[in-house]
Amino acid sequence: MAKREKLLIGSHVSFRREDQLLGSLKEALQYQSTTFMFYTGAPQNTLRYPIDLEITKAAREEMRRQGIDPETVIVHAPYIINLANVDEEKHQFSIRFLKEELKRCEQLGIQYMVLHPGSHVGSGIDLGIEQIIDGLNQILKDTNVMILLETMAGKGSEIGSRFEELHRIIAGVHEQSRIGVCLDTCHLHDAGYDVKDFDHLLDEFDRIVGLSYVHCIHINDSKNPQASHKDRHENIGFGAIGFEALLKIIEHPKLQDIPKILETPYIDRLYPPYKEEIEMIRARTFDPKLQEEIMKKQVH
């Protein structure tokens, strides 16, 4: 792959019934993004509308005009899915739903789907990992989309907060060309890794999993101290990780071609911070008034 000159950065954006991928693209462009991520429907339910091929075609043409490479755009699987569940009915439901979700990715021309590996809900890590592997092998049989397992914060019985667990899952997957990883800076920090010493973290990841598996990075600050296992995202520079550490990750030479996606919280639960956060990242200078300023803009 040719080295990219421009920063590959974007955020989570919405995907609405009426304008689908075209609406997502427009939202991303409002934030001056060079890539983006979306759910193909509400993440907390399984209601899905059919993909409109006309809209998809128009969106892909517009992407070409705008210089956004569809190969870098990411879909996030709904978080109600839990492949790790030992309850056979729930496990099968997750597999069925993910297969449908992958078809939607294919219709949209999306190559990557980020997935939370799952929670063992009391049955233990070993059984949970077996279930995940079984599910992934059924799902990956008939798709050309790559599934990216997200590094988790280790909240409750979440699997995938340790590199060793991700390695065990990946080692059990038959379709090696369709399995990868999405690093999440907030989750890594909450899981106990020191993201401020990112070179060391990457070395460790490379040794245990392999750097070539990384195809996406979620860039989030964290509301909580390292190893808190909380998973509460914070705006860039306003949390326990801090601006300098996050900027270093965003600009890391080994991760240059990998899409960086912000999933930071809306200001006052209402106003997306992404345009301003991306601006701040491009300017390479933390703005401690950023949250306030976003609030002020809304008053007018």
Interface region with Zn ion, contact rule CB under 5 A, candidates 92-100, 159-167, 231-239, 242-250: 231-239
Nearer to Fe ion, 155 or 248 (CB): 155
End-to-end CA distance of the chain: 45
Cα 221–Cα 159–Cα 225 angle in degrees, nearest 5: 30
Applying CB under 5 A, the residues found at the interface with Fe ion are 150, 184, 218
Task: Enter the tokens of residue 163.
Answer: 């590199």
Select the binding partner of residue 52 from Fe ion, Zn ion, none (C-beta < 5 to 8 A, by kind).
none
Select the binding partner of residue 221 from Zn ion, Fe ion, none (C-beta < 5 to 8 A, by kind).
none
Q: Which residue is nearest to Zn ion (CB)?
A: 231
Judged by CB under 5 A, the chain residues 153 through 172 that form the site for Zn ion are: none
Question: What type of residue sits at position 45?
Answer: N
Nearer to Fe ion, 104 or 218 (CB): 218
Nearer to Fe ion, 58 or 265 (CB): 265
CA distance 247 to 185: 11
Should residue 150 be labelled a site residue for Zn ion when binding is judged by CB under 5 A?
A: no
Helix then strand count (H, E) for the chain reads 10, 12
Nearer to Zn ion, 8 or 188 (CB): 188
In the bound complex, what is the minimum distance in angstroms from residue 114's beta carbon to Fe ion? Answer: 6
Interface region with Zn ion, contact rule CB under 5 A, candidates 84-92, 113-121, 206-214, 227-235: 227-235
CB proximity list for 80: less than 8 A, separation 6 or greater:
43, 44, 45, 46
Q: Which residue is nearest to Fe ion (CB)?
A: 218
Select the binding partner of residue 231 from Fe ion, Zn ion, none (C-beta < 5 to 8 A, by kind).
Zn ion
Nearer to Fe ion, 60 or 218 (CB): 218
Interface region with Zn ion, contact rule CB under 5 A, candidates 27-35, 75-83, 128-136, 224-232: 224-232
Which H or E element spans position 208? Answer: helix 198-208
The residues pairing with 148 across neighbouring beta strands, listed in sequence order, are 114, 180
Select the binding partner of residue 150 from Zn ion, Fe ion, none (C-beta < 5 to 8 A, by kind).
Fe ion
Given 130, 150, 231, 277, the residue binding Zn ion (CB under 5 A): 231
Bridging pattern class, strands 179-184 and 214-219 = parallel
CA distance 73 to 268: 27
The backbone torsions φ and ψ at residue 221, rounded to the nearest 5 degrees and listed phi first, read -85, 170
Q: What is the DSSP code (8-state) at residue 259?
A: -
Judged by CB under 5 A, the chain residues 65 through 94 that form the site for Zn ion are: none
Number of residues that bind Zn ion (CB under 5 A): 1
Count of CB atoms situated within 10 Å of the CB of 45: 9
Residue 151: name the closest of 98, 85, 204 by CA.
204
In the bound complex, what is the minimum distance in angstroms from residue 189's beta carbon to Fe ion? Answer: 12
Chain positions contacting Zn ion, by CB under 5 A? 231
